[in-house]
Amino acid sequence: MWRRFKWPIILGTVVLISFSFRKPVEKYFDIAKSLDIFATLFKEVNAYYVDEVDPEKLIRKGIEGMLESLDPYTDYISEDELESFRITTTGQYGGIGALIGVINNKAVITHPYKNFPAFKAGIKVGDELISIDGKKVQGKSTAYISTLLKGKPMTEVEIRLKRQGQKEDLKVTIRREKITLSNLAYAGLVESGVGYIKLDDFTPGAGREVSNALLGLKQKGAKSVILDLRDNAGGLLQEAVNVVNIFVPRGQEVVFTKGKVENWNKSYKTLNNPIDTEIPLVVLVSEESASASEIVAGALQDYDRAILIGKKTYGKGLVQTTRPLAYNSQLKVTTAKYYIPSGRCIQAVDYTHRKQDGSALRMEDSLKSEFKTKHGRKVYDGGGLDPDIVTESEYVGSVTASLVNAGVVFEFASKYCSENPDMPDLSLFHLSDKDYSDFLGFLKAQKFAYSMEIEESTKQLIEAARRERYYPYLEAAINNLKDKIGAAKAADFIKFKAEIMEILEEQIAFHYALNEGQASVSLNRDNTITEARRVLHDTEVYHKTLSPTDGHNPKP
């Protein structure tokens, strides 16, 4: 019997071996062929196109088009962009320690980082940049201005500023330092016994900063903790592991990565002794919590170590690696998917298999697989993390969003602080009706105007009615609709008064005392934080959520 099947088996083996050797050869031929076509095409375009072309720009477009077909996270980083990329990944640079932005065509300081040169020199939120080392910066891009402000530590830079309420410009000479940005936006007690940590980034030191913050809060009497990862888009994977390590024992797997290159597949485990494995913990998440944030939140959920409160997270389960290229450029390329302790991957979008129109596919709920947490709770892959407790979305009126986007909230805050230089007790701070009336007067002077979505829809209706020659029949009704929309817009400043005043108060508090000031005003108003405090106060609800008797969580 063995003799009878001997040759077919050997023949099959030979075919397989032959095929396995032939396939890579074919692939390498296709690569060489495609590169040759691209190179010759570029030469022909460069030589014969009717107008002069910029070779670098043309090649860059080609690179971007190629990478765009993969996923949004695979990027080409040119030599010129390398410094910005390093700042993003390391949180370090040489400069004055201030964030700048363009508001109503003015370059302004939006955040002087506490205890860094700009802050120590007395630069304030809202100061307008006029010139840097004699070079005028009005009308210039933030990239250009940032380049002028950055430089080697211990070198000096002269800045001329315009401050609200002062006639004369200010001249300040600042000595640059090595700036290491904090990953923490804020850490403090939201009430007696309840600590709060807002983590905004995962650059080097994130784990250490959260650890130190937790120890400090425990010294102040914290018996439970809220870790806020809302709108945290992620960062370094290892720092995510370090943050999880604060709350779970040593030797526990936090995440493992799996990709095409098997040698790069890796399991990341907690390496250090934890700070506290028992303290009640709530993690806040939002639709913009992604990547490293999802690793932290997902691992703590899988180990039943924390309750997740908020919104379904973004769903980024991909890992990027940087690879060196010629001429000091780099490629940031997706090399693996990551899987959290339950075994699930929370990647929401499939960038490999696309629709006919080229758009990426999102995983349908019916295709999601079920996994189990340490205590047997049901959790699911694909589409991000589902919070254990979902909080309702807070509606923000169109007028409120428009006020923020137009920069008038920021500018009024600068004006208010210049007219009221003595900082009030921010924990009790509220604007008066007169202050709100002053704000409306400020808007009128600024000729503020905004459009609503319904107005754009009305314009489309009018265009369609004209095309189809129905406008004469609908004109009266459309004009009536436009009048009602106009009346509704006029009433928006009354309807959304409380909401607008809260945003104004928070921005004014930030102008006065940066993150600490804003936290003093906003934390007690935050519905998600209020829900977290409720859960932490109710021991029965807390433990039942982490260990339900039926081991069941509803499928999203």
The CATH number of the domain where 253 resides is what? 3.90.226.10
Q: Would you say residue 370 lies in a domain?
A: yes
The span from the CA of 552 to the CA of 477, in Å, is: 53
Please report, for the chain, how many H helices and E strands are present, in that order: 16, 23
Q: Which residues pair with 224 in a beta bridge?
A: 194
Whether residue 206 is found in the same domain as residue 348: yes
Last residue of a domain, one of 372, 391, 410: 391
Q: Would you say residue 553 lies in a domain?
A: no
Q: Would you say residue 66 lies in a domain?
A: no
Res 490: pLDDT: 84
* 170, 144 Cβ separation under 8 angstroms: no
The span from the CA of 132 to the CA of 171, in Å, is: 10
Task: Supply the range of the domain harboring residue 149.
Answer: 92-180
Res 178: pLDDT: 95
Q: Which residues are catalytic?
A: 291, 302, 316
The CATH number of the domain where 132 resides is what? 2.30.42.10
Whether residue 458 is found in the same domain as residue 310: no
Count the domains in the chain.
4
Query: pTM of the entire structure?
Result: 0.88
Assigned token pair, 224: 């439970």
Res 13: pLDDT: 37
Whether residue 284 is found in the same domain as residue 380: yes
Paired sense of beta strands 135-136 and 128-132, if any: antiparallel
Whether residue 245 is found in the same domain as residue 369: yes
Whether residue 480 is found in the same domain as residue 447: yes
The span from the CA of 425 to the CA of 188, in Å, is: 17
Whether residue 257 is found in the same domain as residue 385: yes
Whether residue 440 is found in the same domain as residue 514: yes
Amino acid sitting at position 127: D
The span from the CA of 411 to the CA of 422, in Å, is: 18
Q: Would you say residue 203 lies in a domain?
A: yes
Q: Would you say residue 542 lies in a domain?
A: no
Whether residue 450 is found in the same domain as residue 530: yes
Q: Would you say residue 482 lies in a domain?
A: yes
Res 553: pLDDT: 53
The span from the CA of 556 to the CA of 544, in Å, is: 19
Ordered mean pLDDT values, 10 residues apiece, the chain (556 residues): 35 40 69 92 94 92 93 93 88 94 95 96 97 95 94 96 94 96 96 97 97 98 98 96 98 96 95 98 97 98 98 96 94 96 95 81 83 95 94 88 96 97 95 97 94 88 92 91 88 95 98 97 95 97 84 46
* 196, 529 Cβ separation under 8 angstroms: yes
The Cα-based distances of 483 to 18, 35, 150, 151, 486 in angstroms read 77, 61, 52, 56, 5
**Quick one: which H or E segment has residue 404?**
helix 398-405
Residues whose CB falls within 8 Å of the CB of residue 113, separated by 6 or more in sequence, listed in order: 97, 98, 99, 119, 179, 181, 182
Distance between the two ends of the chain, CA-based, in angstroms?
55
Q: List phi, psi (to 5°) of 129.
A: -80, 125
For helices 408-419 and 497-522, angle between their N-to-C axes, nearest 10 degrees: 60
Q: Would you say residue 208 lies in a domain?
A: yes
The span from the CA of 492 to the CA of 91, in Å, is: 41
Whether residue 149 is found in the same domain as residue 262: no
Whether residue 453 is found in the same domain as residue 519: yes
The span from the CA of 293 to the CA of 303, in Å, is: 16
Q: Would you say residue 26 lies in a domain?
A: yes
The span from the CA of 375 to the CA of 42, in Å, is: 59
* 76, 56 Cβ separation under 8 angstroms: no
Whether residue 319 is found in the same domain as residue 430: no
* 191, 533 Cβ separation under 8 angstroms: yes
| CB-count burial class (<10 Å; 0-12, 13-18, 19+) for 24 | exposed
Opening angle at CA 54, ends 51 and 59, nearest 5:
120
Residues whose CB falls within 8 Å of the CB of residue 228, separated by 6 or more in sequence, listed in order: 196, 197, 198, 199, 283, 284, 529
Q: Which residue is listed with tokens 């002077």?
A: 445
Whether residue 386 is found in the same domain as residue 403: no
501: how many CB neighbours lie within 10 A of its CB?
Answer: 17
* 149, 98 Cβ separation under 8 angstroms: yes
For helices 539-546 and 527-537, angle between their N-to-C axes, nearest 10 degrees: 100
